[in-house]
Chain A
Amino acid sequence: MDFESSFEPEDEELEDEEQTLDAGISAANEVVSAPGRLVSGVQGLLEPIRVATAPGEGDQEQSPPPPTTGYDPDQLRRVRTLLAEEPLIAGATRSPSHQQTSLWMPWVFLLIGVAVAVPILFQWARPLGQARQWPGVAEAFSAINRLQNGDTVQVLWAYDPATAGELDLLAAPLVQHMLDKGARLEIISLLPNGPATARRLVSGVRRIRSQEPGITLDQSPIDARFVPGGAMVLPAFGATPAALAVVFGAQAEDVQAWLELVAPRNRTPVVAVTAAGADPVLRPYLDSGQLKGLVSGFDGAASYSRLLYATTGQPPNQLQLAQQLVGQNFALIAFLALIVTGNLVAALTTGRRHE
């Protein structure tokens, strides 16, 4: 293979651009999707910008078109955005079309926004109810409850401020539980913003706990560091013995990476604490015993806090959890109203069109 010419296409190569492009299109239509996770997302707010090219991709090279599917580009974009586990805030919304009857997306957002914001603004305390305790929460509680004073816990802090709104709710009771047991947390993060997020949460839990009478927590500096290099560096942590490993991850991939690259090496039991969206992907790992416990979403946080409250005292985020429960109930009502309205509109307009 002439590696040099493939690294940077020569001018004469570009003369055959049309034929190459045609061949590329036909090849792309037959290409099987690159292997990857069934559900995956990107960290951050914007689509990643490609800053480097692989050998064989010149500046003038035309990228092959994506394989054809049965969906139009807008449908594909929406599905991808919905299934990405990381929230994608930036996204253009379409103006209402006069040709077709459809809900204008900003109205949908506005309805959900009002349904969630009003109870928070007016501090409504109902409807509250009780969050469902999924399998894996009690097991996670038991795994942490078995820790002895001075035990080392490896912590992979795989979330940053983009998802802290949800993950802080989950991390607070677990961190409090581990600190109460006197565990020594060795926090690493593959995200540059991870250690700062970890320090903020751990110091917040320490501050609130130390205000309670009779509670004395370790006030030594928080061992949280950023490890550059991505998941490739994770096997290095498999050489470290620990009593327990806890992965705080916004995405399922972070937990999977730990289970694939670290857990088989040091055989340390793993507890996963994740966003609600990552739960279905990780549940098979709980069933297979690779995960000792799985806590996810606001309901996982509420369940864990309930268990903690029953044994060690007041959890640190009681107010936020109550507001989450009320907000989730109102959001659910808004979603149900939207689904019913959407189906009614669709049924009525379809009938009219048939006439």
Chain B
Amino acid sequence: MNSLLGQADLAVLLGTWVGIVVGLLIFSAIFGDHWLARLGQHILVGVALGYAAVVTWQAMFALSFVQGLLANPAGDIIQWIPIVLALLLVIAGGERILMQGEGGAGSGSRRWLRWLGVAPAGLLIAAGIAIASLGVLQGTLLPQFWRAAQTGFQWRAAPEPFLTGILTLLITVSALIYFGVDPDRHLSRQPRWIASFIRGWIWFGQRAVWLAAGAIFARLIVSRSSLFIAFVEGIVASFMTTGIGNTILTWWQMITGAL
């Protein structure tokens, strides 16, 4: 072991070994759900959560209004509002976690505490919905709709962009109909020819969605393969760092007669 420890800094070497062991423990999950794989996951999640908590704590103190309050607590009273709301949320959430399983709504003070916790939670949800809705509208729905509409029927274009435009429009609309129209609910009272036409369009939309899912699946395989190749490279590099890799390489060369 001396030769192993002598090659690199002790902390780096320990980190490498811990990485190898935990990595292999988690990787062993492909052989089933066993306690060693779970142990690896628990260590990883625990360490990651601990690290995240520390980083979040530091980031919170780096916020400009927190810095302003630390410098001059009585400077701007409005800056206390986010702090008070955050404290209310933490207290109400803490009470809920600590008192869970006791049943009932509890005493009047506990009810009040939960009531107060609703204010920041509601503010968060409302702001989140407003931001997300506006974002989807201005960043996805409108530009994508406009693009699909623009590429529709370019009558004077060359055959390739003309067909591409028609296909884009056709696939977009058919996929929308496939997701939005329930044949049993929406088409049962329609005239026969309309129902048949829409069913045909839904059929087309379904195939278009399958095709898109196939493309996504193919790229996901590439993505996962990249991660796996990087993992194997990492394990090999780690073994080389510890010295074991060179020993195995020497043995291999002796066995094959290369040495």
B52 touches A106 (CB 8 A): no
Let me know if A45 and B44 touch, CB within 8 A.
Answer: yes
Chain B residues in 8 Å Cβ range of A93: 30-33
How long is the Cα–Cα vector from A278 to B65 in the complex, in angstroms? 36
CB-CB under 8 A from B143, the residues of chain A are 288, 290
The yes or no answer to A308 lying at the interface (CB within 8 A) is no
Indicate whether A180 reaches chain B with its CB closer than 8 angstroms. Answer: no
Chain A residues contacting B138 (CB-CB under 8 Å) are 260, 264
Q: Indicate if B128 sits at the interface (CB-CB under 8 A).
A: yes
Q: Is B41 an interface residue (CB 8 A)?
A: yes
Q: Do residues B103 and A11 form an inter-chain contact, with CB atoms below 8 A?
A: yes
Q: A8-B114, A52-B93, A297-B219 are in contact. Are A117 and B232 (CB under 8 A)?
A: yes
Determine if A273 is an interface residue (Cβ-Cβ < 8 Å). no
The answer to the question of B231 belonging to the interface, with a C-beta cut-off of 8 Å to chain A, is yes
Q: Which of B45, B213, B222, B232 contacts A120 (CB 8 A)?
A: B232
Residue on B with the closest CB to A79? B213
Question: In the complex, what residues of A have CB within 8 A of residue B97's CB?
Answer: 51
Which residue, of B105, B135, B221, has the highest number of chain A Cβ atoms within 10 A? Answer: B135
Q: Is the CB of A328 within 8 A of B220?
A: no
Cβ-closest chain A residue relative to B111: A4
Contact with A along B221-249 (1 / 0, CB 8 A): 11111111111111010000000000000
Q: How long is the Cα–Cα vector from A292 to B230 in the complex, in angstroms?
A: 28
| B55 contacts partner chain A, Cβ-Cβ < 8 Å | yes
* A 189-209 to B, binary, CB cutoff 8 A, 1 in contact else 0: 000110100000000000000
Interchain CA distance A277-B115 in the complex, whole Å: 43
Say if the beta carbon of A268 comes within 8 Å of chain B.
Answer: no
Q: Which of B56-64, B67-75, B190-198 lies on the face that meets chain A?
A: B56-64
A335 touches B62 (CB 8 A): no
Q: Mark A312-355, 1 if CB is under 8 A from B, else 0.
A: 00000000100110011001000100000000000000000000
Q: Is B177 an interface residue (CB 8 A)?
A: no
Complex Cα spacing A197 to B47, Å: 16
Flag whether B104 is at the interface (Cβ < 8 A): yes
Pair B135/A116 contact, Cβ less than 8 Å: no
Find the residue from B27, B62, B229 having the highest chain A CB count within 10 A: B229
**B222/A11 in contact, CB under 8 A:** no
Contact B32 A297 (CB under 8 A): no
In the assembled complex, which residues on chain A have CB atoms less than 8 Å from the CB atom of B135?
235, 257, 260-261
Q: Does B29 contact A (CB under 8 A)?
A: yes
In whole angstroms, what is the CA distance A82 to B115 when docked?
41
User: With a CB–CB cut-off of 8 A, which chain B residues contact A331?
Assistant: 221, 225, 228-229
Name the one of B101, B131, B212, B229 contacting A328, with C-beta atoms under 8 angstroms.
B229
Query: Could you tell me if B111 and A324 are in contact, using CB atoms closer than 8 angstroms?
Result: no
Q: Does A85 contact B (CB under 8 A)?
A: yes
Binds B, one of A149-157, A162-170, A213-221, A240-248: A162-170
B182 to chain A, nearest CB (A): 9
Interface segment among A17-25, A65-73, A226-234: the answer is A226-234
How far does the alpha carbon of A74 sit from the alpha carbon of B253 in the complex, in Å? 46
Q: Encode A82-100 as 1/0 by CB contact (under 8 A) with B.
A: 1101010111110100000
Are B59 and A10 in contact, with the CB atoms below 8 A?
A: no
The reply to whether B55 and A226 contact each other, CB–CB distance below 8 Å, is: yes
List A contacts of B128 (CB < 8 A): 232
Task: Please indicate the chain B residues that have their CB under 8 angstroms from the CB of A195 in the complex.
Answer: 55
Q: What is B's interface to A at a CB cutoff of 8 Å? A: 26-27, 29-33, 37-38, 41, 44-45, 48, 51-52, 55-56, 58-60, 62, 93, 96-97, 100-101, 103-106, 111, 114-115, 118, 121, 127-128, 131-132, 135-136, 138-140, 143-144, 146-147, 212-213, 215-217, 219-234, 236
Q: List 10 A-B pairs, Cβ < 8 Å.
A: A10-B104, A106-B30, A116-B229, A165-B228, A166-B230, A232-B127, A275-B223, A276-B222, A276-B223, A331-B228
